[in-house]
Structure 1
Amino acid sequence: MWGETFTGLRVDQFGRLLRAVRERGGEGCGWGRPWRLPVAERVLLALEPVRTSQDVVERLWIVDGALVPVRDRTVGASSRNYRFPAKVQVIVDAETRLVVAAARLVPGNTADAKAWRDSGLAAHCEGVTVLGDGAYINTGLIVPHRKRPGRPLLKGKEEDNAQHRKVHARVEHTFSRMKNYKILRDCRQRGDGLHHAVQAVARMHNLALAA
């Protein structure tokens, strides 16, 4: 039980690991003083910080922006898709699909990278890996590999991009579910009411997903 708690490995997995360590000479010390602790306890001590670090590494969030049609022309901007859209950026937990944070709306023609830098969302993401699409280049986020003119991407990078698209689709699905609420299809709120409307929809989305 203690082994699984500290290492994340089941008893049988921990046993196989110990056998592998012993087969590779883990019982001996090579040189210097002999080990005071038995090999099982030494392996446990080695794995515990790895487990702790892995818990942090596995936290993955996704950010993206979407257009919301609004009536407030001080926030909206002319667009081909909507008459006066505003852009909202949302961070989603890749594992749970829950909305972690939503930024205040900005004019719809604002570039995603600029909206990210100005939003303050980065402060919510300290210690967490955040994934964004190609519009977030040079922001410190994980973005797809870019293809250079006349030079195809290497197979490994193509595979990375395919996995990136698969994971990034989760935030797009979240936007799709959030837009089931009419207020995000034609938001008549103004000023801070726009942000409050998005926050309310995000909370209702999370409650529905967790139910």
Structure 2
Amino acid sequence: MAGVITASEPSWIAPFTGLGPRQFGKLVTVLRREGADAVRRGRPWSLPLEDRALLVAAYWRTNLTMRQLAPLFGVSKSAADRIIDHLGPMLALQPRKRFAKDTVLIVDGTLVPTRDHTIAEQSKNYRYSTNHQVVIDADTRLVVVVGRPLAGNRNDCKAWGESGAKDAVGNTLTIADGGYPGTGLVMPHRRRKGEELPDWKQAHNKSHKQVRARVEHVFARMKTWKILRDCRLKGDGVHHAMLGIARMHNLALAG
């Protein structure tokens, strides 16, 4: 069965990955170096590594079912499912382990509607969701850490520590919104009842809001990947999708 979509035709790469052909080629080279194309026992892959990487990206971007996606690449539903299970984790972003002394980070939580109710809970968006703590570099806007997903009813101040994001950034200066009390993060000043904030605090809050908005811009770009609007993957699938999309975001941003 011949497929319609293939990485050998460069025009298919950007719509699904957000990357140029050269960036995509570098990504595939890294995957190959990490063993994604190693010879394995049993049935060989029916697609070259380039097409397999594009298939995973197309699934995350469009959220098509396996029945819809597989014919586009000329493979069976089970083959498409195996490709996603195998390559999805290998596309995951690796968290940054070291930060310069003057680095400023921004953290915020985002909810991903998730159908696997063993890891999701009803949340403020009225859907079963998972809470993902995402940390970006305030200067470059690159994603540096994505915490493990927690139930969507977990508030951000608890998810910050329980997801592993807090340990990953260590003592690096990190900005957050007002939903992280008691965490030691840099939050906006709060106005007490019956009091007005002094001018310097109002100016600080304005500056804080402008900088923190950068993480919202990152979320807006990441949520163009439809898998983050309604994830059907089970277990670690939603985590791998978030990490893989973060990696694609960074590659596209880095140019």
State how far apart, in whole Å, the 2-side matches of 1:180 and 1:80 are.
21
TM-score of the pair, normalised by structure 1 = 0.71
State how far apart, in whole Å, the 2-side matches of 1:80 and 1:56 are.
36
- Residues 137 and 143 of structure 2 are in contact (CA less than 8 Å); yes or no, is this contact kept in structure 1? yes
What CA deviation, in whole Å up to 9, does each residue of 1:52-79 have, x standing for no partner? xxx9553100000011111111122123
Q: Which has the higher contact order (CA 8 A, sep 6+)?
A: 2
In the other structure, the counterpart of 1:159 is 203
Indicate the RMSD between aligned Cα atoms, in angstroms: 1.5
Question: Which letter maps to 2:129?
Answer: P
State how far apart, in whole Å, the 2-side matches of 1:193 and 1:78 are.
19
In the other structure, the counterpart of 1:195 is 239
Task: Show structure 1 runs of 4+ deviating over 4 A.
Answer: none
- State which of 142, 159, 165 in structure 1 corresponds to 2:186: 142
1:72 is paired with a residue whose SS is coil
Please tell me whether residue 108 in structure 1 is matched to residue 152 in structure 2: yes
TM-score of the pair, normalised by structure 2 = 0.59
State how far apart, in whole Å, the 1-side matches of 2:185 and 2:124 are.
28
In the other structure, the counterpart of 2:119 is 75
State how far apart, in whole Å, the 2-side matches of 1:142 and 1:62 are.
9
Larger radius of gyration: 1
Displacement of 1:124 in angstroms is 2.1
1:113 is paired with a residue whose SS is helix
State how far apart, in whole Å, the 2-side matches of 1:92 and 1:79 are.
24
In the other structure, the counterpart of 2:227 is 183
- Relative to structure 1, the CA distance from residue 75 to residue 59 in structure 2 (aligned partners, 3 Å threshold; closer, same or farther) is same
Displacement of 1:98 in angstroms is 0.3
Please tell me whether residue 168 in structure 1 is matched to residue 215 in structure 2: no
- State which of 110, 118, 122 in structure 1 corresponds to 2:166: 122
Please tell me whether residue 95 in structure 1 is matched to residue 139 in structure 2: yes
- Residues 148 and 164 of structure 2 are in contact (CA less than 8 Å); yes or no, is this contact kept in structure 1? no
1:168 is paired with a residue whose SS is helix
Uncovered stretches (5+) of structure 2, i.e. residues with no partner: 1-98
Name the % identity: 50
